[in-house]
Structure 1
Amino acid sequence: MGALGSALTKSISLLFLMGSTMLLIFIVLSGSIEHGPVNQFYWLQADTANITGAPELSRWTFWGLCGVSDNKNSNCTSLEPAYPLSPVDDFGTTVGVPTDFVSNRDTYYYLTRFSFCLFLIALCFIGIALIFYILSWCSYTFSKTVFVTIVIGTLLNMAASACQTAATVLAKNAFKDADLSVSIGVKMMAFAWTTVALNIILFFITGGSFLRKAYKAHKEFVELQNYKEQALTYEQQQQQQQQLRFQQQQQQQDLEAAAATSVVADEPQPQESHQSGIKFFKIRRTHKSDEESI
């Protein structure tokens, strides 16, 4: 069951990473290709017939401004990096432009330009996370990189989607207040927030997996340390027991030596003093006999 659950988690994570990367690629390709299905992706479509130098219908894509033909992007000639959703800057005039774009020009300009950069960086981090996630199946070391890149990519993706959504909704309201037809590109918005949802789910999946592996590694390290401590304690106990046995042997040898010494001391000595007394008595007796004879 554990192996099955791990395989299922890996499959879901890989699927979500691939899906998030693919949707971000669709967002980034919007406006750069006039072929299906990319030519159907845009942030905002609005009636710009009253604006000098603008087509009747304009679509703001990731790379810039496009016209509309058969409900598809066409004539995408005004393309450049960080193209703002700001008619004042895009058409170089304020004639026929809704007043909110003129009075709050900086809001539209900077929100959309920042979202462009954030989407590109988020794509880089999510793409790197996808590559390293596949490599993490071979080595636990890559899991840390995957988790970090997913966290950064998720934050950047959320910021990019929030900036672009805010600017797009404000632009829609500005055109609508000017009684001009306008619509939001549902597909692009769906792509943006779907990637956010997928990345948030991936954050919890990879984060849980990373924490579980980290806890397992820490547990193994603690067990190894305990084993080393037990081995060291056992070795110290063995040394103490050897020292104790050595001391007991020394004490036993000392006792045996002391016992041997006491036995030697208790053995009877030769009666030299008694024999000397007898010899003295014999000498005295001989001497007395000599005196009597004299």
Structure 2
Amino acid sequence: MVKVWNIALRLLVLLFLAGNTLLLILMIISGATDHYPVNRFYWVQGNTTGIPNAGDETRWTFWGACLQDKDGSDTCTSDLAPAYPISPVDNFNTHINVPHQFISKRDAFYYLTRFSFCFFWIALAFVGVSFILYILTWCSKMLSDMVLILMSFGFVFNTAAVVLQTAASAMAKNAFHDDHRSAQLGASMMGMAWASVFLCIVEFILLVSWSIRAKLASTYSIDNSRYRTSSKWNPFHREKEQATDPILTATAPEEMQQSASVVGPSSNANPVTAATENQPKGINFFTIRKSHERPDDVSV
């Protein structure tokens, strides 16, 4: 039953890693094409009517701004670039009819979205490599700690990227609303982003618990093996320990000493004498040597 549970848990972690990797890939390819269903993935959509070089509606995706005409067609192949910010001032090279918050908070929009772009790529690298290495842990358990470390970095960068992008998108929507323009967040894109964060949290908890459980099981196995080895009494080994350890010699029960003297090679020797002879040379404070001299000459 325990083995079945371990296999089920490993399959669950593998499924979560695969799903997390897929979500990050879907977010990163948004804006790369204007075909369905990728054209449904965008961070924020706003009314840009009257802004020079902009269409009636503009959707900001991972790779840039996609222009949407009145007939509903998207154009996402022009002016696409990495780390494309949500900033109409920089996107359309104009200040005319641009909502005021995009001008006053230009640096905030610019750096929030550009940093989130970089963090998404770093998160995909860590999560993707963790997914590949986790498959290899079925053959070798030595990679488990490496997967946990990579997944920890992936979790941090993915969460940071989603938080930064969500803040920038919410600020952009409010900027359009303050200028009395319609705007909305991309439900599909935001759903995938926060779903990837949830999967990262679950994966991190499962990997940490799995690592702790494996270390505890390994420690218990080592301790149990040592206990079984020490519990098997060997009279020759016991005699050797008593011969080299003065404490064992002084405190060993009389029955153990007699058994060791019977089984050992010198079976005719007195057990007490044999134990005494095997002690290391030096002063023994537990033995008082008496002589036939006067009481004043008794030595210790």
Q: 1:238 and 1:55, CA in 2 relative to 1: closer, same or farther beyond 3 A? A: same
Kept in 1, the 8 Å contact 2:13–2:206? The answer is yes
What is the rounded CA distance, in whole Å, between the counterparts of 1:139 and 1:75 in structure 2? 45
Specify every segment of 5 or more residues in structure 1 that has no aligned partner in the other structure, as ranges: 253-294
Match of 2:87 in 1: 86
**Which position in structure 1 is the counterpart of 2:12?**
12
TM-score normalised according to structure 1 size: 0.79
CA contact (8 A) 2:34 2:74 kept: yes
1-side partners of 2:136 and 2:15: how far apart?
A: 15
Larger radius of gyration: 1
Q: Which residue of 2 aligns with 1:291?
A: none
1:238 Cα deviation after fit = 2.6
Aligned 1:1-294 pairs, distance under 5 A: 1-68=1-68, 71=72, 73-226=74-227, 236-239=237-240, 240=243, 241=260, 242=264, 245=267, 247-248=269-270
Does structure 2 conserve the Cα–Cα contact (< 8 Å) formed by 1:40 and 1:72? no
Q: For residue 289 of structure 1, what is the aligned residue in structure 2? A: none
**Deviation of 1:50 (Å):** 2.0
| In 2: Cα distance, 1:247 partner to 1:117 partner | 82
C-alpha displacement at 1:7, in angstroms?
A: 2.0
How far has the Cα of 1:235 moved from its partner? 5.5
Choose between structure 1 and 2 for higher RCO, CA contacts under 8 A separated by at least 6 residues. 1
Instruction: Give 1:82's aligned amino acid.
Output: A
Task: State the Cα RMSD in Å.
Answer: 2.4
Rounded Cα–Cα distance in structure 2 between residues aligned with 1:251 and 1:225 = 32
- Is the 1:44–1:182 Cα contact (8 Å) retained in structure 2? yes
Could you tell me how far apart the structure 1 residues matched to 2:106 and 2:236 are? 79
The answer to whether the Cα contact below 8 Å between 2:64 and 2:76 also exists between their aligned partners in 1 is no
Provide the rounded CA distance (Å) in 2 between the counterparts of 1:169 and 1:251: 90
Which structure shows the bigger proportion of residues in helix conformation? 1
Aligned residue number for residue 287 of structure 2: none
Question: 8 Å contact 1:21–1:127 — kept in the other structure?
Answer: yes
Query: What secondary structure, in the 3-state scheme, does the structure 2 residue paired with 1:79 have?
Result: coil
Q: Which moved more, 1:189-198 or 1:224-233?
A: 224-233
Structure 2, unpaired ranges of 5+ = 244-259, 275-300
Deviation at 1:126, TM superposition (A): 0.8
Do the aligned residues in 2 keep the contact of 1:147 with 1:206 (CA within 8 Å)? yes
1:284 aligned residue = none
SS of residue matched to 2:68: strand
The DSSP-based 3-state class of the residue aligned with 2:65 is: strand
Return the offset for 1:96: 0.9
Partner SS for 1:50: coil
Identity percentage over the alignment?
38
Aligned residues: 252
